[in-house]
Amino acid sequence: MASLGGNISPPDIDSKLLYVGIAGVAFFTLGLFQLSSRPTKEGTYEPSFLKSIVVFVYSCFLKPHSASSKGTQQDALESFYSSQAGVYDVTRSALLKGREDMLALVAAQLLVKALKDGGAGAQPKRTWVDVGGGTGWNIEAMSQYVDVPSFFSSVYLVDFSPSLCEVARKRFARLGWENVKVICEDARKFRLEDYENPSGDRTPTRSIPSFFDQKRPEHGGADLVTLSYSLSMIPDFFSAIDSLSLLLAPNGIIGVADFYIQSKADFAFRNYTGGFTGRHVSFLGRTFWRAWFDLDRVGLEPARRDYLEYRFGTLLTANLRNYKLGCIPYYVWVGCQKKPFSSTSLPHEIVERIDALATESPYLLPANKQSVTNVLFRAVEKTAPEIRSKAFDAAVQNLSANLPLPSFFYQNHHWRIYYDDQLKKHTQFNDEYIYAFTWEDSRVDDRLLKLDPDDVVLAITSAGDNILSYATHSPARIHAVDLNPAQNHLLELKVASYSALPYEDFWKIFGDGKHAQFRSLLVSKLSPHLSSRAFQYWLRNSDIFTKARGRGLYDTGGSKHAIRIFRWISYVFGCRNAVKEILAAKTLNEQREIWHSRIRPALFSRLISNTVVSSETFLWSALGVPKNQLAMIESDHSSSEAVNGSSPTAKNTRAHAVWHYMVNTLDPVIDQTHIAGDNPYYHVCLEGSFTRRCHPEYLSAEAHARLSRPGAFDGLRIHTDEIDEVIARFMPGTLTVAVIMDSMDWFDSGSTAAARQITKLNRALKVGGRVLLRSSALTPWYIREFEALGFVGTKVGNRVPGECIDRVNMYASCWICTKRGNLPPPTPELEKVRACGEVNEPVWRPLSDI
């Protein structure tokens, strides 16, 4: 699009000659994606594409551009655009990518705000200013997402090129959109109050005699401001961006699509950019594209985007490439005012409330409206330290440096808690989740926990399935915790899908694992309900759901390796048809017969056991079994062999232990659970999808109806961190349930790590609070640690040969450890010694004794 007030002077002739050949080839290729001519709605024809390209190449690379004697910026623009205004839209359709995405993202944000402000049928006064709007393409394209004439009370196209503005006027006259006004003006000087009276009358109000008498308000009244490939054409971009902040309403949305080049060194230490996925451009790419675009005075220096992100808060951002034209880097960015305004709260109250919900602190509304800085620093000023979340710490750090808050604070929902995605503990997962579905039986969890509205639950996220199952019982709060950011991205996607999609779309994504329109739904429906990092992740990985020949969601993640190896084994041993028959079996007897006669001999062969199943690499990458858990399996197997009188021979190897464990896992599952009808955990492994008959509880129509209600996830908080780090920041005695799956199996029995975590759990839980855990051991060693630190351990599931512990049957035992008393508060001396690992944790005492 055209510049606000850009100085488009001609490149020197030597540079033109160097690049004209490349330009001709590039745009000849571009022509393969276009029609030679197109009829307009009036029955006339636009210029042929060939003619348009000739005009474009001539105007951009060959035509001498000379401004008038005045030498103004507007003259320079006219010299560049006047000859190509009529072919502008045709020649830019393949070059200016991301415009549709940007419009869809800002429209989705406005629609969510409309629902909050009174429902989809509400008709509030909305104003949109399209800065550098050129021919009006953006405004017409917005009609794909909202009805522009009725959704907006007034739309202003602001551009400094008279030729482009004339094309825009003809466009809107043809469309008959009377609420669109084309303003040919330097957008740095555009003031909405000059065209809009408070009453809504769009009569110009320039009546103040002197410019110096005018006091411009801190914020404007535009509900939406957009810039489409115009920021990169503004020489004085600092003042232009400053003017945008004065144009945007306190709760307004701003959207930008533009070219960029940037090195990781420019942004690596910023926590307010909304994520870095795909943002880095290589040295060669930066050098080439900057030189290329300099030919037409399009500036790609990093400061343009940096200053934009500094002046506003980031809602969503995406870094993309135009692969059809040489991988040109471009970005789409959606932001808001720097201060996190709310219709009911001041900025500091939002920060305090998010902090309180993340730490289970009682939230008290400040009695008087203090300044943001004073309120946020009162924790530092107090003599007694308060428990604060990492989100609060980040907010204090940013506000003290006059930086925007991390993007998590600007989201429509505060489900996701701030985390630093550049830490090694998060990057170790290489941006991939391990589990695409949760390997815990939610039906058994529901029976054991019996959650009620007063419960405050902490649980490991995994794939989020059990978190959603807990949410159907509407507990007061659910804290989902996972160190792997991608696992939490998956949970966020599921929660956003409940909030934005009808059941059929929800089922296609998570039941079938595929949806051909996923990317469109992500941008236009799901984006307002996702954090920026989760949005970036799924935009980058949208082909998981859309790829025609792909196997879908459940053939992804680390666990896909186990599924693929089983598929390979079934092909090699000629039992693939038997697998299909298992999935079609109508009775348990039929299922058992197929398993024992055709599948089991192949899967449990010594060859497979020795070469695949017992491999430590396979057990970790495919099944998520760490070495300490594997050692527990071997220890139980050795004990069992000793009891049976077997001597420690070659049978007591890892291969035999794992083989024995798998037999005790799978045989009872086949004998006692019907995979086709009531075991979704094994069904998805064999088929790669669920069925309407066999699926987890969260995929039912009833669960969708319950969890798609407004406010259904108001109590959800998603923490990307270790369990220890999260519970250490909870107010003592606030949790009622902690579900830690098999995570304790990961601890080394020779260290004090388990005892430290159990101590923190005791501190965070109420008396009577419960810890639900599963283990690969029949009696894990750390149960003694629980009992020494204020808990009573009760085995509620014990796997014996031939019997299922649950429909998964992957664990040897299931335990509930109930808190019976508080531990004495630690002294500074004890903490110092404990940090060195030289002391055992204190034995618990009943509350009455402390």
pLDDT value, residue 80: 52
Tokens representing 585 are 């079996």
pLDDT value, residue 16: 42
d(CA 535, CA 413) in angstroms, rounded, equals 14
pLDDT value, residue 475: 96
Fold of 98-337: Rossmann fold (3.40.50)
d(CA 701, CA 503) in angstroms, rounded, equals 7
When pLDDT is averaged across residues 98-116 and rounded to a whole number, the result is 94
pLDDT value, residue 77: 55
SS3 per residue for 682-704: HHHHHHCCCCCCCCCHHHCHHHH
pLDDT value, residue 51: 55
d(CA 256, CA 709) in angstroms, rounded, equals 32
Least confident of 29-38, 68-77, 346-355, 569-578: 29-38
Confidence label for 660 from pLDDT (cuts 50, 70 and 90): confident
When pLDDT is averaged across residues 799-817 and rounded to a whole number, the result is 93
pLDDT at 377 over 50: no
User: What ranges do the domains of the chain cover?
Assistant: 13-88, 98-337, 347-410, 560-687
Q: What angle do CA 517, 519, 525 make, to 5 degrees?
A: 90
pLDDT at 476 over 50: yes
pLDDT at 773 over 90: yes
pLDDT at 651 over 60: no
- pLDDT digit string (tens) for 391-435? 888 888 888 899 999 999 999 998 999 999 999 999 999 999 999
pLDDT value, residue 382: 38
d(CA 619, CA 466) in angstroms, rounded, equals 23
Least confident of 406-415, 536-545, 652-661, 670-679: 652-661
pLDDT at 743 over 80: yes
pLDDT at 147 over 90: yes
Pairing of strands 248-259, 222-228: parallel
Confidence label for 10 from pLDDT (cuts 50, 70 and 90): very low
Residue 564: phi, psi to the nearest 5? Answer: -70, -35
pLDDT value, residue 837: 46
Confidence label for 662 from pLDDT (cuts 50, 70 and 90): confident
- pLDDT digit string (tens) for 261-310? 999 988 988 999 999 999 999 999 999 999 988 877 789 999 999 999 99
When pLDDT is averaged across residues 826-843 and rounded to a whole number, the result is 50
pLDDT value, residue 611: 61
Confidence label for 808 from pLDDT (cuts 50, 70 and 90): very high
pLDDT at 11 over 50: no
Which element (helix H / strand E) includes 717?
A: strand 716-719
Tokens representing 55 are 């005009």
pLDDT value, residue 828: 61
If one compares 202 and 600, the residue with the highest pLDDT of the two is: 600
pLDDT value, residue 163: 86
- pLDDT digit string (tens) for 584-632? 999 999 999 999 999 888 877 766 666 655 555 555 454 556 778 888 8
Listed ranges 5-19, 347-361, 457-471; the one with the highest mean pLDDT: 457-471
> Contact, 276 vs 536, CB < 8 A?
no
Least confident of 3-7, 187-191, 396-400, 716-720: 3-7
Picking from 606, 602, 612, the residue whose alpha carbon sits closest to that of residue 573 is 602
Q: 């002197």: which residue's tokens? A: 210
Share the mean pLDDT of the chain.
82
If one compares 361 and 21, the residue with the highest pLDDT of the two is: 361
pLDDT value, residue 760: 95
pLDDT value, residue 516: 96
pLDDT value, residue 387: 80
Residues 6+ apart with CB under 8 A from 475: 451, 452, 453, 454, 455, 456, 457, 715, 737
Query: What are the CA-CA distances from residue 21 to residues 9, 26, 84 (Å)?
Result: 21, 9, 20
DSSP 436: S
pLDDT value, residue 535: 98
When pLDDT is averaged across residues 448-461 and rounded to a whole number, the result is 96
DSSP-derived 3-state class of residue 347: helix
pLDDT at 46 over 60: no
Which element (helix H / strand E) includes 773?
A: strand 765-775
Confidence label for 455 from pLDDT (cuts 50, 70 and 90): very high
- Percent of the chain surpassing pLDDT 90: 57
When pLDDT is averaged across residues 335-350 and rounded to a whole number, the result is 68
- Percent of the chain surpassing pLDDT 70: 75
Least confident of 70-79, 110-119, 507-516: 70-79
Cβ count within 10 A of residue 646: 12
pLDDT value, residue 326: 87
Which element (helix H / strand E) includes 154?
A: strand 154-159
pLDDT value, residue 841: 42
- pLDDT digit string (tens) for 559-592? 888 788 788 878 888 888 999 999 999 999 999 9
Tokens representing 678 are 């009531």
DSSP letter for each residue of 546-604 = H-TTS--GGG-STTHHHHHHHHHHHHHTT-HHHHHHHHH--SHHHHHHHIIIIIHHHHT
d(CA 237, CA 231) in angstroms, rounded, equals 7
pLDDT value, residue 122: 52
